[in-house]
Structure 1
Amino acid sequence: MKSKALLLAMLMSVSAAASAAPPTLRFCTGGEGGFYEKLGSAIGPVITKQTGSDLKVINTGGSVENAEKLKDGACDIAVIQNDAVISLPMPADIKVTDAHEEVVYWLHGKAGIDDFGKMEDDDVAKKYAFAAVSGSGALVTVRNWIKTDKDYEGARIVEFDSWYSAAEAVSQGYVSKAGVRIEIAGMLYIGRAGAISSDITEDFGKQILIGEVNDSSFEDSKDANNNPLYRHCAIPKESRSGLDTSNSFKDPKTYCLRAQIVFNNDYLASLQPDEAKKVRRAVDKGINSVVKVVR
C-alpha cells in the first residue's frame, strides 16, 4: 500500500510540475521607450503576481518580429497589431485580447498623393509607388489592403530600412534605385494618436503632410475575434504630432485598428484552468491601467 501511495504522490507531483507556470514570463513588446514596451511593462507584473513567475520584457522591432518570435516559441505573450495577427504566420488557434487603438496615418510630400484611395487609378499607380519600412506593421497593412482590394493589384512598394530614410523619400517625392527615379505617393504610418515618430516629424515636419485614407474597401475585414478589423476614424489637430494636413482636409478621414495581446498556446496550456483565467483577467486589468495613464 505504501508503494502505491508513493507512486500516486509521484504521479501527482509530475502532473503538477507539467502544468505549472513557466519560471519566466517572456513578454515581447516593441522598441525601447515605445508604447508596446510600456504596455508589456505594465501588464507583465500583474500576470507574474498571479503566477509567481519572473518577468522578462523583450524589446523587438514590433508586430512582425513579435509574430515570428511567437511562432518560434521565443515569447509567451506579445503585442501585435490586429491585421498582423491574421495575416502573418502564427501558431494555430491563438488567443487574443484587444488592447489600445492605433491610427493609420497616410503621410505624403507636397509632390505626392493626398488621398491613399487615388492609388486605385491606373494612371496614378503607374507613376507612383508606396514607401514602406521593412518589417513594419505599416508594411503589413498596406500589403493587406492591396490584397483586399483588387483595384490596387500591381501597386509598387519601395522598402526602406528606417522611418528616417522612408520619410526623406516621401518628403522629396521620389527616390533613386539602381539609377532609376521612382516617384513616391506617400507612406502609411501606424501608431497611437499623436505619437508619430520623431524620425519623421523633426527633420521633415515642414515637408510631410497628413492626407486621407478615404476608401471603403476595408470595412468588411474581420480580426481574430471576428470583430471589425478596421474602423473609420478622423485625425483631429491634437493627433497630428505637429504635422500639417493637405489643404482640402480639416480633420482627415482614415482608419483605426487595434493592438492586441496575443498568447502563445503552449504558455496557456502550461497553466491550470483557474490560473489561466487569472492570467486573462490580469491582462485586462493591466491594459486598462496603462492605456488610461498613457493616453
Structure 2
Amino acid sequence: MKTKALLLALLISVSSLASAAPSTLNFCTGGEGGFYQDLGKAIGTSITKNTDIHLNVLTTGGSVENAELMKDGDCDIAIMQADAAVTKPLPTDVKIVDGHMEQVYWLHGPSGIEDFGKMEDDAVAKKYAFAAVAGSGALVTVRNWIETDDDYKGAVIVEFDDWYAAAEAVAQGYVKKAGVTVEIAGMLYIGRPGKITSDITEDFGTQILIGEVNDSSFANAKDANGNPLYTACSVDSKLASGLKTSTFGSPDTYCLRAQIVYNNDWHQGDKKLRRGVDKGINSIVKAVR
C-alpha cells in the first residue's frame, strides 16, 4: 500500500512539474536594432508582464537561424518568414500564427533583368545568376521559387556574406568568382514595405532599380496553416525607400506574412499562460499589420 501511495505521489509531482509555467521565455528575433527585435521585445514584454517569467530576447540572423534554434530547443518563440516556417525543419509540436505583411522586392542593376520571371527563359538563365545573402529569408524564398517552378531548375545562385556585398554585385551587374566573371540578373529583398536596408540604398541607390515578379507559378503555394503563402501585391512607389522603379507605375510582386512560431510549453500548458501568449501576440501584431 505504501508503495502505491508513493508511486501516486511521484506521478502527481511529475505531472505538476510538467504543467508548471516555464521560468524563462527565450524569444528569437532578428538583427540588432531591426524590426524583428523590436517586435519580439514588444510581444515578449506583453506576455511576461505581471508574471515571474524572465524575458530573454535573442538577436539572431533572422528566419533561417531562428528555425535552427527552434529545432534545437534554444528558443521558445521565434519570428520568421512564412516560407521559412514551411520549408525549414521545426519541432513537430509548434503553433504558428500570422504576423505583419512583408514585401518581396526584385532589385536589379542597369544591365540586369527587370522581371524575375524572365529567368525562366533558358537563354537568360544560362547567362545570368541570382545574387543572394547567405542565411537570409530572401535566399529561402528564391530557393523555394526555384523548387516550385520546374522552369527555374538549374538556376544559379551566388551567395554573399551581407547585403552590401550583394548590392555591389547587383549594381555593377557582375561578380568575379574564382577568376570567372558571373553576370548578375538581380536579387530578392524581403522586408516591410518601404524598409529596404541602407546597405542597399545609401551607396547604390542611384544604380539599383526595383523591378517586378511577374510569375503566377507561386500563387498556389500554401503556408503551414494551409493559407496562401504568397499573395499578389505591388510595390508602391511611395514606399520604395528612395529607389526608382524600372517599370511604369507600381511593379507587380508578391507579399508574404511574417509568422510567430511557438512551442508546446507555450500553447498547450497552463491555461492562464496560453491566454497570456495569445493576448500578447494578438495585441502587438494587430498594431503593426
Partner deviation per Cα, 1:213-261 (whole Å, 9 max, x = no partner): 0100000000011110000111112210000010x33101100000000
Distance in 2, matches of 1:221 and 1:53, equals 38
- One-letter code aligned to 1:108: H
Report the equivalent of 2:274.
276
SS at match of 1:194: coil
- One-letter code aligned to 1:196: I
SS at match of 1:46: helix
**Residue correspondence of structure 1 range 225-264 to structure 2 within 5 A:** 225-246=225-246, 248-264=247-263
Report the equivalent of 1:122.
122
Report the equivalent of 1:199.
199
Distance in 1, matches of 2:153 and 2:177, equals 22
Label 1:50 to 1:70 Cα distance change in 2 as closer, same or farther (>3 A): farther
Label 1:153 to 1:4 Cα distance change in 2 as closer, same or farther (>3 A): closer
Report the equivalent of 1:85.
85
Partner deviation per Cα, 1:109-157 (whole Å, 9 max, x = no partner): 0000000000000000000000000000000000000000000000000
Distance in 1, matches of 2:222 and 2:275, equals 25
Cα deviation for residue 82 of structure 1 reads 0.2
SS at match of 1:155: coil
Distance in 2, matches of 1:178 and 1:140, equals 25
SS at match of 2:221: coil
**Is the 2:93–2:263 contact (alpha carbons within 8 Å) kept by the matching residues of 1?**
no
Label 1:4 to 1:90 Cα distance change in 2 as closer, same or farther (>3 A): closer
**Is the 1:230–1:256 contact (alpha carbons within 8 Å) kept by the matching residues of 2?**
yes
CA RMSD, 1 decimal = 2.0
Distance in 2, matches of 1:9 and 1:51, equals 28
Distance in 2, matches of 1:275 and 1:93, equals 17
**Is the 1:50–1:278 contact (alpha carbons within 8 Å) kept by the matching residues of 2?**
no
Cα deviation for residue 285 of structure 1 reads 1.4
- One-letter code aligned to 1:100: H
Distance in 2, matches of 1:120 and 1:7, equals 66
- One-letter code aligned to 2:62: G
Cα deviation for residue 18 of structure 1 reads 2.3
- One-letter code aligned to 1:70: M
Cα deviation for residue 32 of structure 1 reads 1.1
- One-letter code aligned to 1:167: A
Cα deviation for residue 17 of structure 1 reads 2.7
Cα deviation for residue 45 of structure 1 reads 1.0
**How many residues are paired up?**
289
Label 1:94 to 1:50 Cα distance change in 2 as closer, same or farther (>3 A): farther
**Residue correspondence of structure 1 range 102-251 to structure 2 within 5 A:** 102-246=102-246, 248-251=247-250
Distance in 2, matches of 1:59 and 1:178, equals 33
Tell me, which stretches of 5 or more residues in structure 1 are unaligned?
A: none
**Is the 1:211–1:249 contact (alpha carbons within 8 Å) kept by the matching residues of 2?**
no
SS at match of 1:92: coil
Distance in 2, matches of 1:3 and 1:84, equals 50
**Is the 2:109–2:173 contact (alpha carbons within 8 Å) kept by the matching residues of 1?**
yes
TM-score, scaled to structure 1: 0.93
Distance in 1, matches of 2:169 and 2:91, equals 36
Distance in 1, matches of 2:203 and 2:70, equals 35
Write out the 4+ residue segments of structure 1 that deviate beyond 3 Å after TM superposition: 1-14, 266-269
Partner deviation per Cα, 1:55-104 (whole Å, 9 max, x = no partner): 01000000000000000000000001000001011111421010000000
- One-letter code aligned to 1:34: G
Select between 97-106 and 257-266 the one with higher mean Cα deviation: 257-266
Label 1:4 to 1:202 Cα distance change in 2 as closer, same or farther (>3 A): same
TM-score, scaled to structure 2: 0.94
SS at match of 2:55: strand
- Choose the corresponding residue for 1:287, options 282, 285, 288: 285
Cα deviation for residue 108 of structure 1 reads 0.1
Distance in 2, matches of 1:212 and 1:69, equals 33
Distance in 2, matches of 1:178 and 1:14, equals 59
